[in-house]
Structure 1
Amino acid sequence: MVMWVFGYGSLIWKAGFPFDESVVCFIRGYRRVFHQGSTDHRGTPEYPGRTVTLEPAEGEVCYLEAREKQYDKKVYLDVFAELTATTPAISGVMVYIASPDKDVNTNYLGPASVEEIARQIIRAEGPSGPNTDYLFQLEKALLQIGCQDKHVMDLANEVRRILSEQK
C-alpha cells in the first residue's frame, strides 16, 4: 500500500517515521498559520506553545512537511509540483488539520497579532523543546526548499527582535 502524507510543519525536518520518498510539493487554497496550541510537545497546559495548522485561504499555496494527535481533522488533498500545473503531482495525499472548532479541538488558539504570537512562542517550552526551536527549524527548512512563507518569516523576525531587546 502506498500512502503519501503532506507535512507542512515539523514533518519537513523531523518526520519521526521511516519513509521511502520525499517530494517537495504544495497544496492550493490553504495557508500555514500558527493558530494551533501545543500542550504536549512545544508547550504545556499552563504555557501552550504554538504550532502550525492549515486554514483555507483563497489564492494561497502551502508548501510541504508530528505530532498530529492534537489535530482533529484529516483530509485528502491533491498536491502540485509546479505553480502552473493543472494536473496534480499526487492525488489523495493525507493532511492533518486543526479545525477552529473549540468543541472538538480544545487546543485551538486562533489568530493573534504577530507580536502576541511571538511572545507566546518565546515563553513556551515542552518535552520536545522550546517553541522557538520549532519556529526557527520550520523557517530554515522552508528556506532550504525555496519557500519563503511570509507568516513564518514575520514571526521568526519578531521573535529575534524581542529576544535581542531582552539581552
Structure 2
Amino acid sequence: MTMWVFGYGSLLWNPGFPVAGSEIATLPGYARSFCMSSIHHRGSEEVPGLVLALDEVQGAQCQGLALAVASGAEDQTLDYLRERELISSAYLERNLAVQLASGQEVMAVTYVIDPHHEQYCGGMALEKQAQIIATAVGGRGPNTEYLYNTAEHLSEIGLGDAELEWLMGRVRQITA
C-alpha cells in the first residue's frame, strides 16, 4: 500500500525523501497560513521567522500535493519527517483523508499546527507577517527564500495563493 504525505509548504519544493509520484490534492477542514513562529529552520529564538502551517478551520480547504513515498522507503521517510517537522512539537502529525485530483481519496501523513503551542501565531496581519519574513534567518536559510520558493511552486502547479503572492510582493519591496 502506498504511503502518502500531504505537502503544502516546503515539502512542495524540498520533500527530502524519495517521491514515486505526486498529485494535486485537497485537504478539507484546514487552511494554510503563516501561523507558526519559526525558531529553528527559518528564524531563531532571538529573531523568530514564520512558516506555513495548517490551521483547523471549519469549511476551509487547502490545496497542495499528495506525495507518494517510494516503495521500501516508508520507515526512513517517516523518521526523516518526524525529525524535520516535529523539531519543537508545534506541529502535530496526523493521518488525514485528502482528495486527489483524480477523484481518489487517500490517507496522507500531514503536519498541522497545535493551536495551543507557544509558537502558534494565527490571525497575524499580513503586513506584520511581511516585516517578519523580510528579516528572519534560520538554520535552513532566510525566511524570504521559504516564502518565495513556496509561492512560486504553488503557482507552477496551478495553485497560486493570493495571500502568498501579496506577501511575496510586499517582502520584495521591503528588502529592495
TM-score, length-normalised on structure 1? 0.84
**Within 5 A, what are the aligned runs for 1:5-44?**
5-44=5-44
AA aligned to 2:165 is M
Question: Which residue, out of 88, 93, 109, partners 1:94?
Answer: 109
**What does residue 74 of structure 1 align with?**
93
AA aligned to 2:124 is A
**Within 5 A, what are the aligned runs for 1:114-129?**
114-129=126-141
Question: Bigger CA drift: 109-118 or 133-142?
Answer: 109-118
Contact 1:38 1:48 in 2 (8 A): yes
Q: Alignment partner of 1:54: what SS?
A: strand
Residues 97-131 of structure 1, C-alpha deviation per residue, up to 9 Å, x if partnerless?
Answer: 11110xxx232233211111111111100121100
AA aligned to 2:100 is A
Q: Alignment partner of 2:131: what SS?
A: helix
Contact 2:64 2:159 in 1 (8 A): no
Distance 2:56 2:15 in 1: 24
How far the C-alpha of 1:20 sits from its partner, in A, is 1.7
Distance 2:135 2:173 in 1: 14
Moved over 4 A (4+): none
- Give unmatched runs, 5+ long, in structure 1: none
- Give unmatched runs, 5+ long, in structure 2: 66-80
Distance 2:134 2:3 in 1: 35
AA aligned to 1:2 is T
Residues 67-110 of structure 1, C-alpha deviation per residue, up to 9 Å, x if partnerless?
Answer: 3113431222222234xx8xx52322111111110xxx232233
How far the C-alpha of 1:63 sits from its partner, in A, is 1.6
User: Given the alignment of the two structures, is residue 147 of structure 1 paired with residue 153 of structure 2, yes or no?
Assistant: no
TM-score, length-normalised on structure 2? 0.80
| Structure richer in strand, relative to its length | 2
Contact 2:44 2:138 in 1 (8 A): yes
Contact 1:29 1:57 in 2 (8 A): yes
Distance 1:132 1:59 in 2: 30
Distance 1:158 1:89 in 2: 38
Identity of aligned residues (%): 36
Paired residue total? 157
Residues 119-153 of structure 1, C-alpha deviation per residue, up to 9 Å, x if partnerless?
Answer: 11111001211000000000000001101212212
Q: Alignment partner of 1:77: what SS?
A: strand
Contact 1:34 1:50 in 2 (8 A): yes
**What does residue 54 of structure 1 align with?**
54
